[in-house]
Amino acid sequence: KWVWKWCDTCQKRFDAENHSTTCPICDAAFEYIFQIAFLLENSGLVLLAYAFNQYCKNLFPNYTPKEVYENEAKRRELEIMVNSLCNERQFRIGLKSYRNPREELSFAIVNTKFIIE
């Protein structure tokens, strides 16, 4: 699973296969939490450059998470394309990672949620 739906009101996680846009418990709008993303950082400003999800507008739809993480050449190619889109404005490009509660290494945007309307 590369993405899940999160209800901030109930503090519960739901699979992305659930086609609803609202929580079945409290009817609040879901937030999508991506487990893979490139973040661009510049003077505290953080922008999402790449996320893998069918509901997300992705600038690079041909790059799967498996390719980005397991193929260094593909990852470098993506970094170069992201950098050129930013016109080399000194953005730091990085993949964020964290350890989930079961101590399995997985990749995510740390402490960041993107709300999809």
- Global model pTM greater than 0.85: no
In this predicted structure, what is the pLDDT of residue 44?
Answer: 56
Q: Which of 52, 50, 51, 38 is nearest to 92 (CA)?
A: 38
In this predicted structure, what is the pLDDT of residue 8?
Answer: 83
Instruction: Give residue 24's Cα distance to chain centre.
Output: 23
Q: What is the pLDDT of residues 92-109, one digit of tens each?
A: 555 544 334 443 333 433
Q: How far apart are CA 83 and CA 103, in angstroms?
A: 32
In this predicted structure, what is the pLDDT of residue 73?
Answer: 84
**Contact by Cβ (8 Å): 63, 50:** yes
pLDDT beneath 70: ranges in the chain: 1-3, 18, 33-66, 68-69, 82-117
